[in-house]
Amino acid sequence: MNRPQKEPFYNRSLERALQILCLFRWDRQTLTLSQLSEASGLHKATILRLCSTLMKYDFLRYRQDSRHYSLGLKLFELGSIIFSSFSLRRIASSYLDQLQSRLGKTVFLGILENDELIYIDKKEDPRIPIRFTSQIGTRRPPYFGMLGQILMAFLPDQEVNRLLEKTPLTPSTKKSLASEKEFKERLLRIRKQGFFLDEEEALDGISGISAPIRDYTGEVIAGVGVSFISSSEDAKGKKIIIKEVCEAAKGISKQMGYLERKGSGRF
């Protein structure tokens, strides 16, 4: 009988490492080297080598006194990211729908992940003739457009420096900021005013207004924004959009557990 061919780019070591992680369960939270070997069918030397690598990256922990392995905090960290993202989308969905319905504009929800801006939700009216290329899952540079800048505005200075060093400013339109000094000064203004008006810096003829979303710790975890044709809104119209976007961000933040401190002037 012919043996089935392996899939392209198959990695046996990675498969075995994942197999080890999957051996842990609610009712089996710690395992010895012998137990891992017996349950996986792998030799102890192989288990030891794989566990050492998993420990290096904090996917496993080892207690010398009991000689037991347990899952590491890296898995908790990754799981928290997934949970937060799913919870955020679920909570934000109705607010995004209301924003889209009230304003008749395209609404975006985005987060910073792995040093990039990623769109995790989008609401648009099918009757609107203009279609934005950014879709759910699209990744952009961390400073891109209304969402990138609202998110970077609330990062520590050292984190802003690191991101700009890794991904230097690259203008998307003739109105985009190219000066790092001016960009950092703008981030300070955004942080103070609590919203950002992007006037044709990401796309020619398109403007956007965004506001930050906070979680129960007060940390900014996402941004919500509305994009529109620049010529379609005058100063009064932009003020209305700013109010609606900020109210939506405030409502989502409250649902995420954020309690605005009276007199703090922030949400």
Domains and CATH numbers, the chain: 12-71 (1.10.10.10), 79-255 (3.30.450.40)
pLDDT of res. 132: 65
Identify whether the C-beta of residue 92 lies closer than 8 Å to the C-beta of residue 213. yes
Output the six-digit token pair for 112: 């910073």
**Residue 10 binned pLDDT confidence (cut-offs 50, 70, 90):** confident
pLDDT at 7 exceeding the cut of 80: no
| The most confident of 2-6, 9-13, 96-100, by mean pLDDT | 96-100
pTM over 0.95: no
Identify whether the C-beta of residue 156 lies closer than 8 Å to the C-beta of residue 184. no
pLDDT of res. 1: 41
**Rounded mean pLDDT, 248-265:** 81
**Rounded mean pLDDT, 143-172:** 96
- DSSP assignment of 39-106 equals HHT--HHHHHHHHHHHHHTTSEEEETTTTEEEE-HHHHHHHHHHHHHHHHHHHHHHHHHHHHHHH-SE
**Rounded mean pLDDT, 32-53:** 95
N residues, the chain: 267
Cα–Cα distance, 121 to 89 (Å, whole number): 7
Cα–Cα distance, 128 to 143 (Å, whole number): 27
Cα–Cα distance, 136 to 193 (Å, whole number): 28
